Amino acid sequence: MTDEPKDENQTLAADQAEAAATEAPATGAEDEAAARIAALEEELAAAKQETLYALADTQNVRRRLEKDLADTRAYAATGFARDILSVADNLARALDSIPADQRDVEPMKSLVLGIEATAKELESVFRNNGIEKFTSLGEPLDPNRHQAMVEIPSADAEPGTIVQEMQAGYMIKDRLLRPALVGVAKAAG
């Protein structure tokens, strides 16, 4: 190379030629870069959408688990409660089996008081745990709460009305614990 100074026109022409040479490939490179950016933006949008779906699904699973946990806590005693209902039934039968004229006789009086106190305490425990007895007499038959055991001809009651309760029904919170066993009126004749 020589150290001779170049003419200003030669330098300007060389710069223009170099710029023109780099401009043509640069346009192709810019198109390629723009296409790559567009592809990456599409991938990013798809990833964001998948992330949102995954977050929503996770939130739904968490809500479902929280509800299941709350239901488990609320209804955990269901099996035990069903078993203990027979104790309540037997206490009621014991009280019903004592004739009214014998309830005031001294040896029976303390027995009746003991059975009544036990039955009241059991009812209190039931209430504290969300277990409630429901009444059925005089109501229309509801297959979700009652189990019809017998049809009884009746001129006084509307057909389909409960006229006899053989076994009390119970609810635990808002669920049926045990249906009431009932007798339902039917048209006489």
Tokens of 179: 């249906």
- Quote the pLDDT of residue 1: 46
In tens, the pLDDT along 98-111 reads: 998 888 888 888 89
- The fraction of the chain above a pLDDT of 90, given in percent, is 63
Token pair, residue 52, equals 């949102």
The residue with greater pLDDT, 70 or 181, is 181
Q: What is the pLDDT of residues 22-72, one digit of tens each?
A: 554 557 788 899 999 999 999 999 999 999 999 999 999 999 999 999 888
CATH number of the domain located at residue range(s) 131-189 in this protein = 2.30.22.10
**Which of 7-11, 15-19, 116-120 has the highest mean predicted lDDT (pLDDT)?**
116-120
∠ CA 5-10-13, rounded to 5°: 145
pLDDT at 179: 96
Q: Rounded to an integer, what distance in angstroms lies between the CA atom of residue 39 and that of residue 130?
A: 60
Helix (H) or strand (E) holding 123: helix 106-128
Mean pLDDT lowest for which of 7-11, 137-141, 143-147, 164-168?
A: 7-11
> How many C-beta atoms lie closer than 10 Å to residue 169's C-beta?
22
> Order of strands, edge to edge, in the sheet holding 146-154?
146-154, 180-187, 162-167
pTM for the whole structure: 0.64
